[in-house]
Amino acid sequence: MKKIFLHIYDFFEKRRLALYIIFGIIFLMAAWFASRVKFEEDISKILPKDKKIEKLNEVFQNSKFMDKLVVMVSLKDTTATAQPDSLIAYTDTLVENIQLKLTPFIGKLNVKVDDELVMELFGLLNEHLPVFLDEKDYLEIDSLIKPQKVKETLEQDFRTLTSPAGFALKTMISKDPVGITFLAMKKLQQLQFDENFERYENYIVTRDMKHLLFFITPKYPPNNTGKNALLLKGLDSLINNGSNNITASYFGATAVSVGNALQLRKDTLLTQGITILFIIIFLGFYFRKKTAPFIILVPVVFGAVFSLAVIYFLKGSISVIALGTGSVVLGIAVNYSLHVFNHYRHTKNIKELIQDLAKPMTIGSFTTIGGFLCLQFVESEMLKDLGLFAAFSLVGASLCSLIFLPHFIAAKKQPATQHVLDNFSWIDKLASLKPEYNKYLVILIFGLTIFFAFWAGKAGFEPDLQNMNFMSKRLKQSEKQLNHINQYALQSVYLVTEGKTLDEALANNEKLVADIDKLKDKQVVKKYSGVSSLIISDSLQKIRIERWNRYWTADKKNELMATLIKEGVALKFNASAFDNFKLLLDKEYTPVDKNAMAPVRKNLLDDYITEKPGKATVVTLVKTVPEKKQQVYDAFENKAHVTVLDKQYLTKRFVEIINLDFTSIALMTSMLVFFVLLLVYGRIELTLVSFIPMAISWLWILGIMGLFDIRFNIINIIISALIFGLGDDYSLFIMDGLLQEYKTGKKNLSSFKSSIILSAVTTVAGLGVLIFAQHPALRSIALISIIGILCVVIIAQVLIPFLFRILVTNRVKRNRFPWTLWGFIKSSFAFSYFIGWSVTLTLLAYIFSLFNIKEKGKLLYHKIIALVCKRLVYIMINVKKKIINQQGEDFKKPAIIIANHQSSLDILPLIMLHPKLLMITNNRIWNSPLFGKVIRLADYFPAEQIETDLSQVQQRIKNGYSVIIFPEGTRAEDGVIKRFHKGAFYLAQKLDVDILPIMIHGTNYTLTKQDQLLKDGKLTVKILPRIKTADTSYGNGYAERSKVVGRYFRAEFEKLRTEIEQPKYFREQLIYNYLYKGPVLEWYMRIKTKLEKNYQPFNQLVPKQGKILDIGCGYGFMPYMLWFVEKNRHITGIDYDEEKIETANHCFSKTDNINFVHSDVMSFAFEKYDCIIMADMLHYLQPAEQKLVIEKCLQHLNAGGSIIIRDGDKDKEAMHKKTRLTEFLSTKVVNFNKTKETGLSFLSGSMIREMAAANNMLCTEMADSKLTSNTLFILKAANN
């Protein structure tokens, strides 16, 4: 990645004008497309998607429930006497002014109940009367048509007709003197959902006559906040100029939407303005450059414009709330330019800057971008918009920071004499601290982690979604007042039925009515409101018409008409007065035409019905008390085509969805970060070291929220993406600084830490400024963000270095292998297995002791010990085992066994050889609570006891036991056998027994002294011939014998060591030196050494001691391997690639015998060498240079020295093509090797042979590969 950005930099460095032109074109084009993006101000975009929620939203959006503004005209003094006429007078004036000044913004005004509509509705019901009567109505008709009741009704009709209201009601009475139509009219009461209202002079007032309500339907939908804002502004002006004792207020979705949109715009400008102002001032002071803040903001602005341009092509619009949270994005996006600018402040070298930052910035931005893109999987459209805006902003900002910003900040050349760091600020001082070394701080962090883990489960979600809306004090008061007078507003349950057509939806709705009536009879439902009484499906209309026809038999009609005429004559009614009613009875009825119902539906029922092509829904509102709401749910929840909804359900469902979204975001982002880290580092250990602090940070955040009852909501759950993204960004920089220092010794960690602190300050500023926002959706982000960022910064700066120190740094300082997960697992398993069997042996020792066992019992116990030791040795499957017993030693004859002591493992392979083997221990082991009982029961001897009393040893020798002694007296940490002490030989002489030498090889490497890492070694036990007591060839007396046997033992061990310790044996040791230095390097090393056969051919050709020069040593694989095999080799490696030399010089196995120098071979100062190696490097030189180098090597050889050349021989034409291909991949594709501008030039074998002959050298050739033209040329003096 860094090579790509370096190539781009080099390209534009020579073409500055092209750079500025390209940047300008891209920016202007992006700005043009960005300007075409539409901004959505619909607050409902915040809400998550859900089938039921969508259904309710659909009902609201397609009806006028949400569009209407409820205007409440009230007495200012609520304790005053009701004055309904004053309310009406004020309302008339207000409405007149509204119609005069606000008509362009108003769709409809509903102020009074329309009498004409009532008459029209009566006529419609009368015209189609059977359709509006249900089965129960016929019981009342039976009562109405009884003679006595007919008489009473006509008397009432007469009184009405002779009253002032008679003129208006004359038509109604003439059409239905009996009052059957009024049975249908009663069903209109279902539309009066709240009984707290009544009509007064055709106005809607509360029963206490202190509040009057009328309705405004805006011309524009709620999301058109621009036009609606003008409406509300005008309405406010009219209300403010009203009466002194009467006031008006309003409430509705339009008012809430406008309030939210205006506040969002205001907050967005305020917060982002404060953020930019702070960044400009802060960065100006920090960098001590006036232009610094503006240059730093270039990638931020570029990223925002780029993002909006991309969004234009993807969807064309974006939520204003998503854009309002741009402070979050601004705070993150500025990090990239800060990293670049701050690192340049430390290095003053653009190429070094790009080389250091390319990897952590690209990977960090990738994971942060991925975290925001995870928001595409949540259910809120606003959060999806935010995810897109943030992701593409960061794409633009990161690319701009790495491609364009380096040229902008380096536009002014720095003086050559200028110090690297312009000023050492408080941030630099803070960054230079090493808090990971403060054990109290580390303990405190782990302690707080445990504490916060307890509270983390108590972190919850905001249950009241009203807290997500912004409402002014005036609007909140209006809502409170409306809820007070509309006492059932919060107890409504929506029953939504649906169908493919309106008729199907109505039919499904009609099926509910009987069930609702049953619940009403049980007092579960207090009242319900819907369309079922007026808008009726065709199928039910036909049934009701048939019922009407069956009911009105000819006799019943004649009897009723006769009664009417008789009683009418008595009241002086004209005989023809009942002709219209007779027509009503005799009429042939058909289902109501939809066009006929249109006026009724438009004026009364549109709120309940939604029609779209292929789909229709019908709403029924049910009123119940909260404690019985669940019974309503239980009654209808599982019915087909019915959805049950209410505010309580929606709140509960919102919280469930938010919880699910939060969990999914946290899971997706954490998985993304984890796998990206794993991919980047290629090691699970480094991934865990980086990831665990992030997980702990999140635990802290949850714990603090749980402790202080800070709650998540649908907006601030984006913090999960933010925290993981930033946490990953910070972790990558900290880890990259640690790895750069570990790999090459380059100390960039302080620079990276100062950038992180700088980033944290600006990010906290960008997010913390949201605390000044008035909109709760924005303000809810601030506190959690600040807590999260501070937690991430503190823990990343402390725990990552602390864990890395445990994993790597502390160990390699002591020349120990760094820990690996596999190493930890196998070591833990081996030690656990060992401790488990030790405890078992101790328990057995106690059991055996209870029975006071004799010799046979002790022998049985010894057999168990030998078996356990064998199991312990062979359970370690990662360690190869080999026992060499050429003499067929059976241990039947007692002896003093002497063995070299390199590791605590040495005891196990010795004890397992035979049950009758005893150890001499020290007092510490003798008294050990874990092993002491085993040692004592097995008759092992404390060394102090043997010095004063040999009787016990003599007794065990007589019983056929042999005694194991380590004559070195202590473990040899370096594997070299030390001087033998005389004790073992003295004891053998005193007891008159043979000495049996046993060599142990490999335990020193497998489990090094004072180390707990069990490595993949090879354990070899070799039993040498017995040294008889009478054999004087090893000297007379124990003192002389100790020296002679010691020399003999060391000589035999050296033979064994030389046989075993070939390059393959040290492969793991070489691998460990290059672990954690990058996955590509690690695998390159693994593959390279495998292909090189672990450099075994070179090991055979290179002298075992002397000065060796490796020209083109690369990362140092071969020099280290050659030195591992023979420590007397003094090796110098040189290479043209400085990064490779730095890496080779920082391996923990490096000693004074291995040196690496960064140099061009043409300018390198040669010394005299015993062997010079040039493997795969001459083809990087031109032919003339090749000859010069070979000549120089020949001149700097010691007598008897040799030159080893391996390279592609272009004389082998057929195979040479493959050689060229491999070199092309190495230099151009994988970029492991650097080339000069002149390119590659392969040599010919004939040229080498000619030069060898000219210098009196013998040239031996060996084919190095069966596939390529690579050939080994060994040049030695001809007289050798």
Span 814-839, average pLDDT? 92
* pLDDT at residue number 42: 60
pLDDT at 742: 93
Highest mean pLDDT among 82-91, 153-162, 776-785: 82-91
Kindly report, residue by residue over 419-428, the tens digit of the pLDDT: 444 555 777 7
In the numeric block, the tokens 């040498």 are attached to 1024
Residue 81 lies in a domain: yes
Mean pLDDT, residues 799-816 taken together = 92
Q: Is pTM, for the whole model, over 0.85?
A: no
Assess whether 126 and 213 both reside in one domain. no
Q: Check whether residue 266 and residue 173 sit in a common domain.
A: no
What percent of the chain is predicted at pLDDT more than 70?
89
Of 318-327, 396-405, 798-807, the range with the lowest mean pLDDT is 318-327
Parallel, antiparallel, or unpaired: how do β-strands 994-1001 and 895-899 relate? parallel
Contact 1182, 1239 (CB under 8 A): no
Q: How many domains, in total, are found in the chain?
A: 5
Do 1087 and 1230 belong to one domain?
A: yes
* Residue 420, pLDDT score: 45
Last residue of a domain, one of 772, 788, 813: 813
Query: In Å, how far are 299, 646, 770, 1129, 1203 from 368, measured between CA atoms?
Result: 16, 38, 21, 50, 53
Please, are residues 405 and 343 in contact by the beta-carbon 8 Å criterion? Answer: no
Query: Is there a single domain that holds both residue 1005 and residue 1027?
Result: yes
Q: Could you tell me which residue, 352 or 1231, shows the higher pLDDT?
A: 352
Least reliable range by pLDDT among 255-259, 484-488, 1118-1122: 484-488
Q: Which domain holds residue 534?
A: 115-200+501-613
Average pLDDT over residues 893-915: 93
Tell me the average pLDDT across 1092-1104: 94
Q: SS3 for 180-227, per residue?
A: HHHHHHHHHHHHCCCCCEEEECCEEEECCCCEEEEEEEECCCCCCHHH
Min mean pLDDT across 66-75, 86-95, 1065-1074 is at 66-75
DSSP lists the bridge partners of residue 1158 as 1135
What is the mean pLDDT of the segment spanning 89-107?
90
Q: Give CA angle at 300 (295, 302), nearest 5°.
A: 90
Same domain, 444 and 316: yes
Instruction: Tell whether 474 is covered by a domain.
Output: no
* pLDDT at residue 418 in the model: 42
Count the residues in the chain: 1280
The token duo for 774 is: 């008035």
Greater model confidence, 491 or 1181 = 1181
Residues 1070 and 1055 in one domain: no
Most confident residue range from 599-603, 905-909, 1107-1111 = 1107-1111
In a domain, 480, yes or no: no
Q: How far apart are CA 145 and CA 163, in angstroms?
A: 25
Q: How confident is the model at residue 896 (pLDDT cuts 50, 70, 90)?
A: very high
| CB-based burial label for 358 (10 Å; 0-12, 13-18, 19+) | middle
The answer for residues whose C-beta is within 8 angstroms of residue 53's C-beta and 6 or more apart is: 47, 650, 653, 654
Mean pLDDT to the nearest integer, 182-209: 74
For 156-164, what is the mean pLDDT? 72
Give the pLDDT band of residue 193 (cuts 50, 70, 90).
very low
In sequence order, the β-bridge partners of residue 497 are 618, 642
pLDDT of residue 529: 77
Same domain, 169 and 221: no
Identify the CA nearest to 962 among candidates 912, 908, 913, 917. 917
Checking if the pLDDT of 65 tops 70, the result is no
Considering the domain architecture, whether residues 1214 and 1095 belong to the same structural domain is answered as yes
Q: Are residues 803 and 918 in the same domain?
A: no
Task: Examine residue 196 and state whether it is found in any structural domain, yes or no.
Answer: yes
Q: How far apart are CA 1111 and CA 1160, in angstroms?
A: 9
Single out the residue in 1060, 1090, 1117 at which a domain terminates: 1060
- Contact 1179/1161 with Cβ under 8 angstroms? no
Report the Cα 1240 to chain-centroid distance in Å.
46
CA angle 237, 242, 243 (to 5 degrees): 165
- Average pLDDT on 968-990 reads 87
Residue 1015 to residue 1011: CA distance in whole angstroms? 10
The mean-pLDDT minimum among 359-368, 537-546, 886-895, 1062-1071 falls in 359-368
Q: Which amino acid is at 1246?
A: S
| 760 and 673, same domain (yes or no) | yes
CATH code for the domain in which residue 1146 is found: 3.40.50.150
Flag whether pLDDT at 111 surpasses 60. Answer: yes
Please check whether residue 1103 is in contact with residue 1170, taking contact to mean a CB–CB distance below 8 angstroms.
yes
Distance CA 780, CA 719 (A): 11
**What is the chain's mean pLDDT, rounded?**
84
DSSP 928-957: -TTTHHHHHHTT-EEHHHHHH--HHHHHHH
Q: What is the pLDDT of residues 827-875, one digit of tens each?
A: 999 999 999 998 999 999 888 888 878 888 889 999 999 999 999 999 9
The answer to whether residue 418 sits within a structural domain is yes
The more confident residue out of 1198 and 198 is 1198
Q: Report residue 1053 as tokens.
A: 């061990």
Q: Which two tokens stand for residue 680?
A: 């980047």
Task: Tokens 């401790």: give the residue.
Answer: 835
| Tens-place pLDDT, residues 1164-1177 | 999 999 999 999 88
CATH of the domain at 237: 3.30.70.1430
User: Per-residue pLDDT averaged across 112-140, rounded?
Assistant: 79
Is the model more confident about 60 or about 967? 967
Quote the pLDDT of residue 489.
47
Comparing 342 with 250, the larger pLDDT belongs to 250
Q: What is the Cβ-side half-sphere exposure of residue 117, based on CA atoms within 13 angstroms? A: 14
User: What DSSP string runs through 951-985?
Assistant: HHHHHHHHTT-EEEE-TTSS--TTS---PPPSHHH
pLDDT exceeds 80 at position 708: yes
Q: Tens digit of pLDDT for each residue in 538-586?
A: 888 888 889 999 988 888 888 888 888 888 888 777 777 888 888 888 8
Q: Is 470 a domain residue? A: no
- Residue 416 in this model has a pLDDT that exceeds 50: no
* CATH number of the domain to which 906 belongs: 3.40.1130
Is the pLDDT higher at 452 or at 537? Answer: 452
Residues 1027 and 1001 in one domain: yes
Would you list the DSSP string of 1222-1257? HHHIIIIIS--S---TT------HHHHHHHHHHTTE
CB atoms within 10 A of CB 247: 16
Report, in angstroms and rounded to the nearest whole number, the Rg of the chain calculated over CA atoms.
Answer: 47
Domain termination residue (choose one: 597, 613, 629): 613
Q: Is residue 471 part of a domain?
A: no
Residue 49 belongs to a domain: no
| Higher-confidence position of 17 and 68 | 17
Q: What percent of the chain has pLDDT over 90?
A: 30
1271 and 1137 share one domain: yes
